[in-house]
């Protein structure tokens, strides 16, 4: 670890803190339907879209209608991706002549993108056409991100409203998020990325003759426009197989810094949106602080572990940290930071191969996902995930002092706590359950690339990532098999929608409640005690759930490595 | 609920057309005008032929060139399309080795390469980036230490004084942005092109 490494980490954190409030203010105005500086340009387009699509802008929806609208929207999204992938061979924008994608892989990828997971069983440049990248993947990068944000806003409305039956209009929320937040940032961001060196072309792959006379086929494409939304929307599905480690997806140290910032940007701002909408920005900063504590702890451990390197390297006299599966332009610190950022948020883009991380360095990304990706989290999803933990923490605090718990003026009662528990329990059921099946099913075991405990971690990581809708991988695992395509798809589906539906039920039930003014007996939720309590609840629930699995994977591997064992 | 069906279909199609077609195609047109070189992939031509991209590493085996990182990229086996074979710096199929910290295959490979490099230059410590595979398999850079390490071999193969080669390394070394962001590095292709130009004089 070096001073300059820590300075890079501090710089990253400082920029995020600085951007949270201004973007939060802008986004709050967007969600409340107020005029913004972009309204003169975008308002006519927005109104035209509503008119054409039959959306009644002022008609709000009950939570159930809101949720059903969201589900219908996803059915359509699924069909578009699946259809374009199956038909890519006969559709335009296919200069590399890619053939139809197999049924199970198309199914997996379509589920993967509508759930904002973007798990890469597809190979990017070796599998899909430019049309799939644009019409299939880029479009769903926008819409699954907009959906996540819309759902979080709906849940916030549950807290901020009183005695109301509705929580907003899904169609309006998605349209406004796409037009006013995601698209304008992406237009500027794409140009920045092209300036840094990311290709943006519809031309065919380039045939080069290297200095030594060998042939090199260089894959290009409309990359920058997809990378922009892939990061901003915490999607993470790469244009290329190597994702953000590929020099064409992340060419410079500056593009890397901005990409990491853009992963956290909206998720961090959502905490401020929450504070503003419930009428006290300090409520937002308290949640931000919970995330910050867990984030700094994770970064420190991974950076330390990667800078330290492995026993094999020490024995050979190699210094400079674990550079296997890392790029020189990022080095140890920017690779470690990226790994923690991408798994804390549910992005899943990678600029280094997590499979080659040290045991402890790779365990932190795994833990980040197992905690439910609430450390900033996916756009929107991180906030509603975190609010579920807050509900539990408030409930625990209420039990300790024997009072009905309340949060930002709303009584937290049995229904909310049951729904929060349902959402939180369904995740480990998926990733622990499928991991258990996979390690005894021979065809699934055959997919492991590494032997010993590392192979187990590959499988655990895959199902954790899928359930958490992250999408990063211990990529040695051969995931493109019928078994993994179907099981991972089921984990992604349950991980997304079995969290959303209970969260929306909470939104509906909270919106209907009366708002009660704080009294002397109200537990203050803007101070250090509250932050500590929520951090504690997250770590205890998380720890109890997945510690046994971690003991079989990264923990035993670290011990084996220290003892000089190889597999 | 039924009145949600129309938006579910029409709004989806409209937003798909905007984000999936209008946006990427417009960005392609704009980027092609403002940053034509980068938009095409930062290609480098020599004598009218494309010799590669400034951002994509390529394989160097000859002693007279600086070598890049190890690359774990694969290509389909020409004899059996269900299998893959090693194809370093395959820029149409990026990827890493994915070998873990307790992998025997990695331990053996590291040992073999460290021994080879120690034999080549016994006077310097082996830089870790010269014996590890990059994440993309296409890393265009090596660390300044890794370039320094190869100077004696390259100088000897080209009959150039060590100092002249060292100077070329220094002039092709990029520092951190603002002295803070990223890592110091040497673009191997740019350095080798500079070497060829120096030899041609």
Q: Chain B 41-100, CB below 8 Å of chain A: which residues?
A: 41-43, 49-62, 65, 69, 89-100
A163-166 — which CB contacts under 8 Å span 24+ positions?
A163/A512, A163/A513, A163/A514, A163/A515, A164/A511, A164/A512, A165/A62, A165/A511, A165/A512, A166/A60, A166/A61, A166/A62, A166/A511
Are A202 and A111 in contact by the 8 Å Cβ rule? The answer is no
Residue of B nearest to A199 (CA): B39
Q: Which two tokens stand for residue A249?
A: 């997806």
Eight-state DSSP code of residue A243: G
Determine the average pLDDT of the residues in B86-110. Answer: 93
B188 contacts chain A (CB < 8 A): no
> What pLDDT, on the 0 to 100 scale, is given for residue A518?
83
Judged by phi (left if over 0) then psi (alpha if -120 to 50, else beta), residue A383 lies in alpha
**pLDDT tens digits along A289-302:** 999 999 999 999 99
Check whether A16 has a pLDDT greater than 90.
yes
Least confident of A6-15, A268-277, A518-527, B136-145: A518-527
Q: Which two tokens stand for residue A144?
A: 């699954």
Which of B3, B19, B28 lies nearest to residue A201, judging by beta carbons? B28
ipTM above 0.90, yes or no: yes
Nearest residue to B40 via CA among A406, A203, A108: A203
Judged by phi (left if over 0) then psi (alpha if -120 to 50, else beta), residue A380 lies in left
Check whether B2 has a pLDDT greater than 80.
no
> What pLDDT, on the 0 to 100 scale, is given for residue B126?
94
How far B194 CA lies from chain A's nearest CA (Å)?
A: 12
Q: Do B6 and A53 touch (CB under 8 A)?
A: yes
Check whether A133 has a pLDDT greater than 70.
yes
Nearest residue to B99 via CA among B134, B123, B147, B140: B134
B107 contacts chain A (CB < 8 A): yes
pLDDT-based confidence at B24, cuts 50/70/90?
very high
Eight-state DSSP code of residue A98: P
Mutation target vs B (from A211, A338, A355; most B CBs, 10 A cutoff): A211
Least confident of A339-348, A511-520, B171-180: A511-520
DSSP state string for A130-149 = HHIIIIIIIHHHHHHHHHHH
DSSP state string for A326-340 = --TTTHHHHHHHHHH
For A430-443, b/e burial (b = at least 16 CB within 10 A) is bbbebbeebeeeee
Q: Which two tokens stand for residue A263?
A: 């992963």
Are A220 and B55 in contact by the 8 Å Cβ rule? The answer is no
Check whether A304 has a pLDDT greater than 90.
yes
Q: Pick the more confident residue, A96 or A299.
A: A299
Dihedral over alpha carbons A322, A324, A329, A332 (to 10 degrees): -20
B104 contacts chain A (CB < 8 A): yes
H/E segment holding residue A259:
helix A253-277
Residue of A nearest to B96 (CA): A325
Q: Do A216 and B52 touch (CB under 8 A)?
A: yes
Q: Which residues contact A548 (CB under 8 A, 6 or more apart)?
A: none
Q: Measured at the alpha carbon of residue A480, what is the angle toward residues A478 and A482, in degrees to the nearest 5? A: 115
Check whether A62 has a pLDDT greater than 90.
yes
Check whether A79 has a pLDDT greater than 80.
yes
Phi, psi dihedral angles at B77 (to 5 degrees): -70, 125
Are A519 and A139 in contact by the 8 Å Cβ rule? The answer is no
H/E segment holding residue B81:
strand B80-86
Determine the average pLDDT of the residues in A413-417. Answer: 91
Residue of B nearest to A248 (CA): B55
Q: Do B99 and A356 touch (CB under 8 A)?
A: yes
> What pLDDT, on the 0 to 100 scale, is given for residue A545?
87
Check whether A519 has a pLDDT greater than 90.
no
B200 contacts chain A (CB < 8 A): no
Nearest residue to A196 via CA among A242, A262, A243, A258: A258
Q: Do A187 and B27 touch (CB under 8 A)?
A: yes
> What pLDDT, on the 0 to 100 scale, is given for residue B111?
95
> What pLDDT, on the 0 to 100 scale, is given for residue B1?
67
Mutation target vs A (from B1, B24, B111; most A CBs, 10 A cutoff): B24
Q: Do A125 and B16 touch (CB under 8 A)?
A: no
Residue of A nearest to B189 (CA): A211
Q: Do A356 and B38 touch (CB under 8 A)?
A: no
Residue of B nearest to A211 (CA): B51
Output the pTM of the full model: 0.95
DSSP state string for A435-489 = HHHHTTSHHHHTT-SS-THHHHHHHHHHHHHHHTT-----TTS---SHHHHHHHH
pLDDT-based confidence at A106, cuts 50/70/90?
very high
Q: Which two tokens stand for residue A175?
A: 């349209």
How far A382 CA lies from chain B's nearest CA (Å)?
A: 23
Please report, for residues A57, A72, A140, A165, the alpha-carbon distance to residue A62 in angstroms, rounded to integers and kept in the order given.
14, 15, 25, 6
How far B34 CA lies from chain A's nearest CA (Å)?
A: 9
Are A5 and A308 in contact by the 8 Å Cβ rule? The answer is no
Q: Which two tokens stand for residue B191?
A: 């350095």
Which of B5, B100, B180 lies nearest to residue A454, judging by beta carbons? B100
Are B132 and A325 in contact by the 8 Å Cβ rule? The answer is yes
Q: Do B15 and A561 touch (CB under 8 A)?
A: no
Q: Which two tokens stand for residue A495?
A: 């991980």
Residues B5, B6, B7, B12, CA torsion sign? positive
Cβ-Cβ contacts under 8 Å between A and B: the total is: 380
A-chain residues within 8 Å CB-CB of B196? Answer: 211
Dist. CA A355–CA B98, nearest whole Å: 5
Q: Which residues contact A458 (CB under 8 A, 6 or more apart)?
A: A355, A448, A449, A450, A474, A476, A477
Query: Whole-number mean pLDDT of chain A?
Result: 92
B148 contacts chain A (CB < 8 A): no
Please report, for residues A74, A146, A155, B17, B132, the alpha-carbon distance to residue A114 in angstroms, rounded to integers and kept in the order given.
6, 11, 20, 16, 36
Are A486 and A136 in contact by the 8 Å Cβ rule? The answer is no
Which of A178, A217, A251 lies nearest to residue B92, judging by beta carbons? A217
**pLDDT tens digits along A224-281:** 999 999 999 999 888 899 999 999 999 999 999 999 999 999 999 999 999 999 999 9
Q: Chain B 163-182, CB below 8 Å of chain A: which residues?
A: 176-177, 180-182
B29 contacts chain A (CB < 8 A): no
Percent of chain A past pLDDT 70, that is, above it, reads: 100
Burial label, A259 (beta-carbon count in 10 A; 0-12, 13-18, 19+): buried
Dist. CA A197–CA A272, nearest whole Å: 33
Dist. CA A329–CA A21, nearest whole Å: 31
Q: Do A356 and B139 touch (CB under 8 A)?
A: no
For A362-393, b/e burial (b = at least 16 CB within 10 A) is bbbbbbbbbbbbbbbbbbbbbbbbbbbbbbbb
Q: Which two tokens stand for residue A16?
A: 């995020």
Helix/strand/coil for B142: strand
Q: Measured at the alpha carbon of residue A492, what is the angle toward residues A551 and A128, in degrees to the nearest 5? A: 115
Check whether A459 has a pLDDT greater than 90.
yes
Beta strands A406-407 and B141-142: pairing type?
Answer: unpaired
H/E segment holding residue A209:
strand A206-209
Q: How far is CA A526 from the centre of its chain?
A: 26
Q: Do A216 and B89 touch (CB under 8 A)?
A: yes
Dist. CA A308–CA A310, nearest whole Å: 7
Are A416 and A510 in contact by the 8 Å Cβ rule? The answer is yes
B11 contacts chain A (CB < 8 A): yes
Q: Which two tokens stand for residue B112?
A: 């073999």
> What pLDDT, on the 0 to 100 scale, is given for residue B65?
96
């Amino acid at each position: 670890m070096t001073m300059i490494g820590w300075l890079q980490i501090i710089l990253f954190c400082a920029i995020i803190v600085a951007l949270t409030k201004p973007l939060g203010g802008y986004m709050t105005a967007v969600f409340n339907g107020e005029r913004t500086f972009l309204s003169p340009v975008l308002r006519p387009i927005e109104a035209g879209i509503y008119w054409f699509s039959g959306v009644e802008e002022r008609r709000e929806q009950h939570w159930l209608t809101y949720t059903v609208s969201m589900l219908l929207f996803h059915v359509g999204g699924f069909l578009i991706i699946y259809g374009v992938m199956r038909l890519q061979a006969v559709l335009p924008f296919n200069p590399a002549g890619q053939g139809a994608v197999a049924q199970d892989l198309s199914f997996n990828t379509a589920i993967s993108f509508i759930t904002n997971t973007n798990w890469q069983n597809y190979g990017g440049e070796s599998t899909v056409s430019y049309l799939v990248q644009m019409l299939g993947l880029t479009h769903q990068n926008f819409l699954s991100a907009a959906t996540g944000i819309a759902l979080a806003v709906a849940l916030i409305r549950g807290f901020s409203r009183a005695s109301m039956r509705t929580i907003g209009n899904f169609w309006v929320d998605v349209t406004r998020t796409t037009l006013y937040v995601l698209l304008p940032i992406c237009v500027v961001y794409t140009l920045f990325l092209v300036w840094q060196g990311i290709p943006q072309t519809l031309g065919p792959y380039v045939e080069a003759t290297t200095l030594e006379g060998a042939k090199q086929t260089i894959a290009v494409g409309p990359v920058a426009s997809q990378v922009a939304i892939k990061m901003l929307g915490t999607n993470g599905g790469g244009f290329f197989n190597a994702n953000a480690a590929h020099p064409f997806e992340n060419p410079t140290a500056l593009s890397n810094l901005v990409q990491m910032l853009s992963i956290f940007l909206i998720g961090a701002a959502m905490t401020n949106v929450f504070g503003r909408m419930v009428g006290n920005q300090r409520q937002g900063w308290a949640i931000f602080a919970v995330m910050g504590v867990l984030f700094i702890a994770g970064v420190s451990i991974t950076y330390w572990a990667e800078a330290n390197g492995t026993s094999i390297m020490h024995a050979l006299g190699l210094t400079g940290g674990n550079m296997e599966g890392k790029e020189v332009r990022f080095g140890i610190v920017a690779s470690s930071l990226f790994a923690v950022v991408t798994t804390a948020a549910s992005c899943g883009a990678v600029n280094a191969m997590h499979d080659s991380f040290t045991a402890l360095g790779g365990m932190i990304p795994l833990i980040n996902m197992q905690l439910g990706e609430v450390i900033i989290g996916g756009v929107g999803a991180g906030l509603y995930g975190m609010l579920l933990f807050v509900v539990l923490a408030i409930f625990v605090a209420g039990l300790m002092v024997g009072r009905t718990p309340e949060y930002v003026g709303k009584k937290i009662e049995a229904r909310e706590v049951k729904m929060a528990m349902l959402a939180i329990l369904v995740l480990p059921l998926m990733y622990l359950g499928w991991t258990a099946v996979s390690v005894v099913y021979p065809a699934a075991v055959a997919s492991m690339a590494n032997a010993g405990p590392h192979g187990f971690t590959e499988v655990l990581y895959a199902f954790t990532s899928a359930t958490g809708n992250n999408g990063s991988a211990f990529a040695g695992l051969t995931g493109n098999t019928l078994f993994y395509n179907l099981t991972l798809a089921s984990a992604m589906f349950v991980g997304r929608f079995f969290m959303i539906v209970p969260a929306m039920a909470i939104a509906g039930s909270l919106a209907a409640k009366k708002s009660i003014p704080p009294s002397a007996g109200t537990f203050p939720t803007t101070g250090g005690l509250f932050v500590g309590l929520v951090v504690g609840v997250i770590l205890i629930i998380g720890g109890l759930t997945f510690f046994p699995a971690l003991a079989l994977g990264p923990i035993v591997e670290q011990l084996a490595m220290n003892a000089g064992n190889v597999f | 609920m039924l009145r949600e069906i129309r938006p579910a279909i029409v709004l989806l199609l409209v937003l798909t057309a905007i984000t999936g077609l209008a946006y990427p195609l417009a960005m392609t047109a704009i980027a092609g005008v403002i940053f034509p070189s980068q938009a095409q992939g930062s290609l480098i031509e020599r004598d009218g032929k494309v010799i590669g991209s400034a951002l994509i590493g390529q394989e160097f085996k000859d002693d007279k060139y600086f070598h890049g990182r190890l690359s774990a990229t694969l290509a389909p086996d020409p004899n059996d399309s269900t299998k893959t074979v090693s194809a370093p710096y395959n820029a149409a199929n990026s990827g890493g080795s994915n070998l873990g910290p307790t992998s025997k295959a990695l331990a053996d490979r590291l040992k073999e390469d460290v021994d080879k490099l120690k034999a080549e230059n016994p006077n310097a410590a082996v830089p870790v980036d010269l014996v590890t595979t990059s994440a993309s398999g296409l890393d265009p850079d090596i660390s300044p230490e890794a370039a320094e390490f190869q100077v004696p071999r390259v100088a000897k193969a080209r009959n150039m004084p060590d100092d002249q080669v060292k100077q070329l390394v220094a002039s092709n070394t990029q520092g951190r942005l603002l002295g803070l962001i990223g890592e110091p590095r040497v673009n191997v292709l740019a350095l080798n092109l500079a070497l060829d130009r120096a030899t041609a004089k």
